[in-house]
A and B are shown apart, each in its own frame.
Chain A
């Protein structure tokens, strides 16, 4: 054999069962990675116990109440909004049949590509006094300035609307997946027991999907808590804007960290809620027999209503803002067909690609650690490392900045003291800090994807390769990597796009004079140069479409009962019998 002897444990199954006697390399690695990635959150929490200065006192007396009420109001408003939009459309496209259903099925995910702050800039530009809508209104009515009332988009209600429009897909996605995964048996049993289609939905399908609805809701609410771009632009005092204000305006890192800690406690409530609902989701799968649900054919006004209900969120959440952005981008061609913009795109892509590679590499290490050496400690480490997805970028940025700055200052002071040289900023204010923050925030994205991919490689496949004369390293290169290739690309893409869209952490941690598309769009919009910000915004949206497309393809293919025909890419046919009985063709 030409493959060199490998240092890897021999086989996955036997090593997993073997008692832990030798130095446990996998476990040590995973625990180290988890601790390093948990550092920002730990730093932020540690500040709860630090003595508080005047600023915190001041904050508590003046602003804290407003932060809490505004954040809660946003959570409440957006929560209602995403449920009202997400659940009905999920039900329509997965249970009913009406014209355009197949298109709506994926088009309803389009707003995922639209970051909230971008949709906020766009609608502000459209509904401003000088924007096309009010101009048209004045032309039609002949009224002038101050003679009519027009809703103010830059308000708390406006922010709720913006966030709802781009966050409902979380609820839609998870709820639809739950409807599709529901065992047809359960629904058929309910019909044999006398429930009609509507009763069946309300008494069986919806209660079964409830954990998924809650999981989708908590994901959307985590995004609400993490949002900085929208609320900052609309001038709403929430936790994230408060942290920025305390950090930059009041120059009090400790107070900013304490605010961040309060925000984190909100997040943890959501995490617990999400875990709980996912745990319940497991109990809700009672049977493993699946088939296409027979859809209810809608006709006439019912079909028209269904089309309208599905069309509106796509129209307002994606089409209108996208067209507006494209329109502006055409108007401001000079602002983006130039080397500066090319440099900006290059910077952003370079940063995002680097972060994606790091996040996927770490995810691979953790996922293999869990596969090779399962067990409580490794499992816990992996879960801690994946916690970052729930932590707002602002909080992570603070948690990265404080220890890194402390390290730089201490080292600098030490070196100046001893050797008379200044080391300056080694970590803070460099790409290293930014990349670290991205790794913390987006590891979960890559980890989830990589673990799912690795899960497809059954332990028996390792054993099969071994029994066919393949050594462990050969098994890795000939079996694991080829099977995982698609998964790894997906993970890279997902992290890449998330980094592209990320705003607050980038704002705080980016090196001086280093700009990304998101930061550029934010700055231009803040200067009321909305049209000019459109090119950067549009670039983000266009790249953001890639994972949406990927997601819709994956969902279509991962449908239970579809695996048999997975290669045929085609749409599942209606009313097909259950999977061909195993072995039926062998006689």
Chain B
């Protein structure tokens, strides 16, 4: 793409080192450390009030840090007592409400951050970005005349115009229709790739995070729970909060019976276990809906259907085991069982995830 040829390769490496952020003496974010390699796309994921937006604003330079350091490409931009002003960071930001300037048309909005460029370069850049976001010909339109999705792309183009080393996105899809969100996330991801920019997205929607990010930070109560790929968040959650927040599943009680085996209502499940789980330890076992399969012919575990949700390609069944333990199970939609049908199950654990019993973190029923 021509963009890459024109833009100097300058995407930032982002390092957060033991960062605390807060207002009015109250800490909102505690001891967050993470590294995002150059050109990658990261995501801060968590429920509302977990401090993800605060952390993003600290990276942008709108908030100072109370402890630790933020480095962009090895340059310290924030430490206690020093905050490099946001306008000097070469960091772009897309706001939740887009914050387009209502008195400027689309072209002038996009050109706002590059007003000191030579006129020819500036016009070329605006044209190029409009082509990239698929809104060529909208130069003279005013923001209020555009749809939400169009405004969102203009905000993105405006943030990208000065070729920032890092682009921050604060819940940019939250006002979009649900069906459009993941599409848009993928589209924005492609644009960031084309622009060769490091990106960080804040969201509370895991599907958005999965569609957008290379690495995801799950935050809870201002603390970083896990900084990992989507695959690992799902299959190797670091704690019960992540297990519960990311993906579906149930947590059922069990007991370690061997070095690599846990016994629970589903019988014996084998898999690698941490050495801290000695045989006899009471544990909680994470059962994802794809960890069990319906197998009427050779399944050994009897269960009863208590509820089901049709999801198109598959059904999500809620099942009750013989000892009344409830679990979820996903099954292709060509079999159609009804509530109170009796079925048989087979284990299909690719990853065994157990937590010490009584670990904090609310589990979904």
Contact = CB atoms under 8 A, between A and B. Distances in A.
Interface in B73-101: 85-89, 91-93, 95-97, 99, 101
A193 interface: no
Contacts of A585: 147, 149-150
B152 A564 contact: no
B12 to A, nearest CB: 14
Interface stretch (A444-452, A457-465, A524-532): A457-465
Contacts of B102: 456, 483
B86 A467 contact: yes
Contacts of A469: 87-88, 113, 162
B287 to A, nearest CB: 36
Interface stretch (B175-183, B223-231, B305-313): B175-183
Which of B89, B95, B104 gathers most chain A CB within 10 Å? B95
Given A469-B162, A583-B177, A586-B149, A567 B144 contact: yes
B180 A587 contact: yes
Interface in B40-64: 60-64
Interface in B135-158: 142, 144-145, 147-150, 152-153, 155, 158
A95 to B, nearest CB: 28
A467 to B, nearest CB: 4
Contacts of B99: 458, 460-461, 463-464
Given A567-B145, A582-B175, A583-B149, A468 B162 contact: yes
Contact of B62 (A13, A458, A468, A582): A13
Contacts of A565: 145
A482 B102 CA distance: 9
Given A467-B92, A584-B147, A17 B86 contact: no
B101 A461 contact: yes
A144 interface: no
Contacts, number: 117
A468 B158 contact: yes
B103 interface: yes
A582 B176 contact: yes
A580 to B, nearest CB: 6
Given A14-B62, A463-B86, A582-B175, A468 B113 contact: yes
Given A467-B159, A468-B112, A583-B152, A460 B85 contact: no
B24 A19 contact: yes
B152 to A, nearest CB: 7
B358 interface: no
A489 B258 CA distance: 80
Nearest to A10: B85
Nearest to A586: B149
Interface in A458-516: 458, 460-461, 463-471, 478-479, 482-483
29 contacts: A10-B85, A13-B62, A14-B62, A17-B24, A18-B23, A19-B25, A464-B93, A464-B95, A464-B155, A466-B85, A466-B87, A467-B87, A467-B159, A468-B92, A468-B112, A469-B162, A470-B112, A471-B87, A582-B175, A582-B176, A582-B177, A583-B147, A583-B152, A583-B175, A583-B176, A586-B147, A586-B149, A586-B150, A587-B183
